[in-house]
A = this chain, B = another copy of it.
Amino acid sequence: MNIEDKKKRATKWFKDIRNQICDEFESIEPNGASFERTLWDREDSDSPNASGSILKGGGEISVMRGGIFEKIGVNISTVYGTFSEEFRAKIPGAEESNGDFWASGVSLVAHMKNPFVPAVHMNTRMISTSKCWFGGGADLTPTFEFDEDTKGFHKNLKDCCDRHDPEYHPKFKKWCDEYFFLPHRNEPRGIGGIFYDYLDTDWEKNFNFTQDVGKTFNTTFSEIVRRRMETEWNEENKDKQLIKRGRYAEFNLLYDRGTQFGLKTGGNTDAILMSMPPEAKWI
């Protein structure tokens, strides 16, 4: 299969899983909250932006503010263009493509009203330079940990990994633990999950795995939400959640590669910062 067909199939999948996730999460909301969608594109930007890169393409931001999902943002985007010399060195295969790149993906962060329901993040993407690879992952950030949630989350992701390659889960779980860590607090962002990148071996295998990650995330998180969403909570519980969200904001702004890279290359700020919590506190 040629690269253009691969791009088409991946792009279509990211939209499909976006739809599946939005449908599932809307079905959880008791009072009919729904996602609001905003299309954005920058097809006309043929000249380098402030960072020296040329960025074209666009995407769609879906946001729902409901009674269960305090704020969930689901982004899909397909962008392409030419990285500046500075950024080329940081992206596999981008020197050889003279900076040309193409990237498509889906990314999601959910901040929940009930402090006993964990926050969650999921992202999968395909990137093409002179190389072509998949990356992504999912990780859970509870304020209050429940064994049933944590173990179930890890187990489902492990089963998902094992269906594709027995070497995946140990490697991707470790990568996740190392990545979602706040060194200045000496604490993890949450309880981890999986994180993978530069998966550039067999395209079909990697695409299958990436699809499975999306589907596994959807059923797994949905189950956790339904299990916890009716737990009673008080202001003290909520305050703990808001403090935890402060740490989440710290991670995203200080360390998250996607956020830093996106903002520095002139990406869509609204889409990138959709991950920020609706409300957060610092002591």
Contact = CB atoms under 8 A, between A and B. Distances in A.
Interface stretch (A113-121, A159-167, A198-206, A247-255): A247-255
A17 interface: no
A269 B50 contact: no
A277 B269 contact: no
A250 B263 CA distance: 11
Copies, count: 2
Contacts of A224: none
Nearest to A263: B184
Contact of A254 (B184, B185, B242, B253): B253
Given A254-B263, A279-B282, 13 more contacts: A183-B263, A184-B272, A185-B269, A242-B279, A246-B276, A249-B253, A249-B280, A250-B253, A254-B254, A276-B282, A278-B282, A279-B281, A280-B280
Contacts of A280: 249, 279-282
A191 interface: no
11 contacts: A50-B183, A183-B263, A185-B269, A242-B279, A246-B276, A249-B249, A249-B253, A250-B253, A253-B254, A277-B282, A278-B281
Per CB-CB distance, the 7 closest pairs between chain A and chain B, nearest first, are A253-B253, A276-B282, A184-B263, A184-B269, A279-B281, A253-B254, A280-B280
A273 interface: yes
Contacts of A279: 242, 279-282
Interface in A252-283: 253-254, 260, 263, 269, 272-273, 276-283
Interface string A37-50: 00000000000001
A109 to B, nearest CB: 11
A269 B249 CA distance: 15
A247 to B, nearest CB: 10
Interface string A220-252: 000000000000000000000010001001100
A183 B50 CA distance: 9
Interface in A39-79: 50
A41 to B, nearest CB: 18
Most chain B Cβ neighbours within 10 Å, of A242, A254, A277: A254
A73 B213 CA distance: 44
Nearest to A273: B282
A210 to B, nearest CB: 28
A254 B254 CA distance: 6
Contacts of A249: 249, 253, 280
Interface string A171-196: 00000000000011100000000000
A202 to B, nearest CB: 37
Contacts of A183: 50, 263
